[in-house]
Amino acid sequence: MSLAAPRDAGERLGSVSSGNALELRGVTKLFGALAAIRDVTMTVRSGERRAVLGSNGAGKTTLFNCVTGDFLPTSGTIRLFGEDVTRFPAYERIRRGLRRTYQISLLFNGLTVTDNVYLACRGVSRDRFSLLRPRQGDVLVARADELIEAVHLTSARDTAVANLSYGQQRQLEIALALAGAPRLILFDEPAAGLSPTERAELVSILNGLPEHIGYIIIEHDMDVALRVAERVTMMHNGLVFKEGTPEEIENDAEVQELYLGGGHG
């Protein structure tokens, strides 16, 4: 998979000096009186593979929404590759190397697989306003084809999204996140609804990503999460309550009590 491809000219890739892909400091999001996340402080290094686990309502998706810019945090700062992006609109963060997949696939139902992936490639390039159709041999068209190949959707290339199977849609969802030159990807429950074979494939795709691409994965499926992560962050009721390696987390008594229902593995 040629994702170590050279950076696209349109992306604004600032300095990677701090070595941290993501720095959250005291991030809180209130909905009225409800604190969806509270005082979250978290640091993810460049290229790190992190899992964020927790029960429903722990605030994981809200955390993602704050990082991508869907929500404005009530307080706290968010730094992406050393830059303070707390008040940036979503597209500015994307152009700095952030990507995301969604729990419920957000795809363009009226367009084909190729169109979907091509749009993703275009989004982070220059010429996204181009009125001219791409010429034969256009770089981005080729890149889109490669991505489709990488997620094993070549046979469904010209199918409209509405006609894809659930598993194929999830694969497409991942392809969209791999477009351009991602540096940090947020995967929101990518294994949801997948069969065991598909899950194994997902794990191999995730583990096969180039080293410079870091990701944060939200998952309910502990097996998948612990197999693809270097570090785990546990959330509960909007707070980060534990952080450690997969082994530490698995064997932690508090985690077992709260999340695994006492005794696991």
Contact positions vs other proteins (CB under 8 A): 68-70, 89-91, 94-95, 99-100, 102, 106-112, 114-115, 118-120, 122-124, 127-137, 141-142, 144-146, 149, 158, 176, 179-180
Radius of gyration of the chain (CA): 19
- Closer residue to other proteins in complex, CB, 107/249: 107
Is the CB of residue 225 less than 8 Å from the CB of residue 53? yes
- Closer residue to other proteins in complex, CB, 69/214: 69
Exposed e or buried b for every residue in 174-192, given b needs 16+ CB within 10 A?
Answer: bbbbbbbbbbbbbbbbbbe
Cβ at position 40, least distance to other proteins in Å: 21
- Closer residue to other proteins in complex, CB, 125/233: 125
Is the CB of residue 181 less than 8 Å from the CB of residue 121? no
- Closer residue to other proteins in complex, CB, 158/211: 158
Cβ at position 155, least distance to other proteins in Å: 13
Cβ at position 210, least distance to other proteins in Å: 17
Cβ at position 63, least distance to other proteins in Å: 15
Euclidean distance between the first and final Cα of the chain, in Å?
34
- Closer residue to other proteins in complex, CB, 113/249: 113
CA distances from 103 to 92, 164, 218, 219 (A): 22, 17, 9, 10
| Euclidean distance between CA atoms 57 and 238, whole angstroms | 8
